Chain A
Amino acid sequence: MSALDFSTTLGNAWFPAPTFTASGCASSGRELAQFFDLRTMGGVVTKSVMMKARTGRPTPRMAETASGMLNSIGLQGPGIDAFLAKDVPYLIEQKARIVVSIAGETVEEYSTLARKLRSVSGISALEVNISCPNVENRGLVFACDPEASRRVIDGVRRTIGGELPIIAKLSPDVTDLVSIARGVVEAGADGLALINTVLGMVINLDTMRPHLGGKTGGLSGPAIKPIAVRAVYQVHAAMPQVPILGMGGISNGRDALEMIAAGASGISVGTASFGNPTAIMSIQNELKDLLIEKGFTSLRQAIGYAHRPESE
Chain B
Amino acid sequence: MATLNKNAAQVRAPIVSNKRVGQYHQLIINIGELAGVCKPGNFVAINVGGENSRMVLRRAFAISRVSTNSISGGTMELIVAPHGQGSRWLCSQGEGAMLDIVVPLGSAFGIPTEAVQVLLVGGGYGSAPLFGLAEVLNAKGCRVDMLLGASTASKIYAPMEGKRSVNSLRIYTEDGSMGQSGRVTEPIRALIEDLNIAVIYSCGPMAMLSAIDEITRGTHVVHQCAVEESMACGIGICMTCVLPVADEAGNVSMVRSCIDGPVMDGSFVQWDKVGKTL
B-contacting residues of A (Cβ < 8 Å)?
Answer: 24-27, 30-32, 34-35, 47, 53, 55-62, 64, 66-69, 71, 73, 76, 213, 221-222, 251, 271-278
Query: With A and B bound together, what is the CA distance between A271 and B233 in angstroms?
Result: 9
Q: Supply 21 A–B pairs (Cβ within 8 Å), ascending by A.
A: A27-B239, A30-B236, A32-B235, A34-B6, A58-B276, A61-B242, A62-B240, A62-B241, A64-B232, A73-B240, A76-B239, A76-B242, A76-B254, A213-B277, A221-B56, A222-B56, A273-B237, A274-B58, A274-B232, A275-B56, A276-B100
Closest-CB distance, A91 to chain B (whole angstroms): 14
Q: Give chain B interface residues in 106-121, CB to chain A under 8 Å.
A: none
A64 touches B242 (CB 8 A): no
A56 close to B56 (CB less than 8 A): no
Contact B239 A67 (CB under 8 A): no
Chain B residues lying within 8 Å of A278, measured Cβ to Cβ, are 10
Task: Verify A26–B8 contact, CB threshold 8 A.
Answer: no
A31 near B4 (CB under 8 angstroms)?
yes
Q: Cβ of B47 < 8 Å from any Cβ of A? A: yes
Provide the bound-state CA to CA distance between A35 and B238, in Å.
Answer: 16
Any chain A CB within 8 A of the CB of B274? Answer: yes
- Say how far B76's CB is from chain A's closest CB, in angstroms: 19
The 5 closest A-B pairs by CB, nearest first: A62-B240, A274-B233, A31-B236, A55-B278, A61-B240
Residues of B within 8 A of A (CB): 4, 6, 8, 10, 47, 54-58, 100, 102, 229-233, 235-244, 253-254, 259, 274-278
A289 to B249, CA, bound (A): 53
Whether B237 and A25, one on each chain, are in contact in the complex, defined by CB atoms closer than 8 angstroms, is yes
* Sample of 5 more A-B contacts, CB < 8 Å, known A61-B240, A275-B57, A276-B58: A26-B237, A34-B8, A35-B10, A47-B239, A274-B238
Q: Majority SS of interface residues in chain A?
A: loop
Q: How many inter-chain residue pairs (CB < 8 Å) link A and B?
A: 108
A64 touches B57 (CB 8 A): yes
* Max chain B C-beta neighbours (<10 A), residue from A53, A55, A57, A277: A277
The answer to whether B47 touches A277 (Cβ under 8 A) is no
CA A53 to CA B254, docked complex, whole Å: 11
B237 touches A274 (CB 8 A): yes
Q: Which residues of A contact B259 (CB under 8 A)?
A: 31
Chain A residue with the shortest CB-CB distance to B49:
A275
> Are A59 and B56 in touch, CB under 8 angstroms?
no
Q: For A271, list chain B residues within 8 Å (CB).
A: 56
Q: Determine whether the beta carbon of A27 is less than 8 Å from that of B236.
A: yes
Residue of B nearest to A271 (CB): B56
Kindly state the separation between the CA atoms of A222 and B49 in the bound complex, as whole angstroms: 15
* A276 close to B47 (CB less than 8 A): yes
